[in-house]
Copies of this chain bind each other. A is one copy, B any other.
Amino acid sequence: MSPQITPIADTAQDLELAERILTPDGSRIANPQLDAFITDVDAASLRALHRDMVILRRIDAEGVALQRQGQLGLWAPCQGQEATQIGTARALAPQDYVFPSYRETGVIYARGAKPGDYVRMWRGEEGAGHDPAALRVAPLQIIIGAQTLHAVGYALGIRHDGADEVAVTYFGDGATSQGDVNEAMIFASSYQAPVVFVCQNNHWAISEPVSVQSQYPIAGRAPGFGIPSLRVDGNDVLACMAAMRWALAHARSGKGPAYIEAVTYRMGPHTTADDPTRYRKEDELDAWRRRDPITRLEAHLRAIGELSDEQVSQTQAAADVVAREMRAECLGMVTRPPLAVFDGVYAEPHTGLERQRGEYAAYLASFEGEA
């Protein structure tokens, strides 16, 4: 008879069950499994990771502010998930290709997004905020879990091409309930596709605690599909990077898919349209504030004497610059003209749509004589 898996009772216990390198107070502990993957990470690299996370948080705050000021239709904050996103995305090779969900601001940041890229979609100007080919990141995906299959298909193509690349997909704890995400594991396993699954278990799917999706560790599902997995402290940027390097190395070396569950926390609302006070307690938030990924790395860097106040304020200043550029690009965006509504539906002319465009153009033109 199969072993019964132990349910997870509460979110505090959750993190304790995950692999970790930096404790919440910033001390570094030995991790026999992960340490080998980050031997090259020196103080300068740590500072770079810190800087990334600070900038990301600033971008995220600017996104919220822009939405509150009516400049964006919506924003999906990633506050609290900086370590997961930066740690894993900074482990990628340039040629890897990412299939994200809507919350991966940190991932597109790490892949070189331009300031306007963060907001173009949320402002409602375009369907995709960034150029997928430029970042090697697919458009942010709103349909929960759909992108995981795309990553598997892409990985199948990589394998077919014999390329030294990995496809990576990000998704939430809620997404793990979708058929697509499970099918993605099955297809990936069947084809031994070079794909890495990154589940950001941020404990909530809008108002539903992760226990609605699973009362057991999510990473525990992958092995049943023949996919090795790791459950990692998602607020520990080092552990996230190490785990991701393990997973990427596994996939890159032809051993097939790998799976990471990063246990983290969504500090903000689900989106700017959400009111989390309706469903979650302040103390849960408090507990997680004490596990903040940025504070943690900062404490570590300061403890080892590798971060000065001056460096911190330089970083903050750099972050402000990015936020300013983001705001400027956002406010400067010019909406496409009315007929653009017809653009880009098809790659080749579609007679029905051409006719409609013509009719609509004539209709618009009929106003032109008017005052």
Which residues from chain A sit less than 8 Å from chain B, CB to CB? Answer: 1-5, 7, 33, 176-180, 182-183, 186, 189-190, 211-216, 219-226, 228-230, 246
Chain B residues, Cβ within 8 Å of A216 = 189, 224-226
Inter-subunit contact A228/B1 (CB<8 Å): yes
* Contact partner, A177, options B5, B186, B220, Cβ 8 Å: B186
Cα A177 to Cα B187 in complex, Å, equals 8
Interface centre among A4, A179, A224 (most CB of B within 10 A): A224
Inter-subunit contact B220/A224 (CB<8 Å): yes
Cα A213 to Cα B191 in complex, Å, equals 10
Q: A7-B226, A214-B225 are in contact. List 17 more A-B contacts (CB 8 A).
A: A1-B33, A1-B228, A1-B246, A2-B220, A3-B223, A4-B223, A5-B226, A176-B186, A177-B183, A177-B186, A178-B183, A179-B183, A189-B216, A190-B211, A215-B226, A221-B221, A224-B224
State the main secondary structure of chain A at its contact with B.
helix
Chain B residues, Cβ within 8 Å of A230 = 1-2
Closest to A183 in B: B179
Interface centre among A177, A212, A215, A225 (most CB of B within 10 A): A225
Cα A4 to Cα B227 in complex, Å, equals 7
Cα A211 to Cα B183 in complex, Å, equals 15
Interface centre among A1, A222, A229 (most CB of B within 10 A): A1
Cα A222 to Cα B7 in complex, Å, equals 14
Listed A/B pairs (20) with beta-carbon separation below 8 Å: A1-B33, A2-B223, A2-B229, A3-B223, A4-B223, A5-B223, A5-B224, A7-B226, A177-B186, A178-B183, A179-B182, A182-B182, A190-B212, A190-B214, A214-B226, A215-B226, A216-B224, A216-B226, A221-B225, A222-B224
Chain B residues, Cβ within 8 Å of A1 = 33, 228-230, 246
Closest to A255 in B: B4
Chain B residues, Cβ within 8 Å of A226 = 5, 7, 214-216
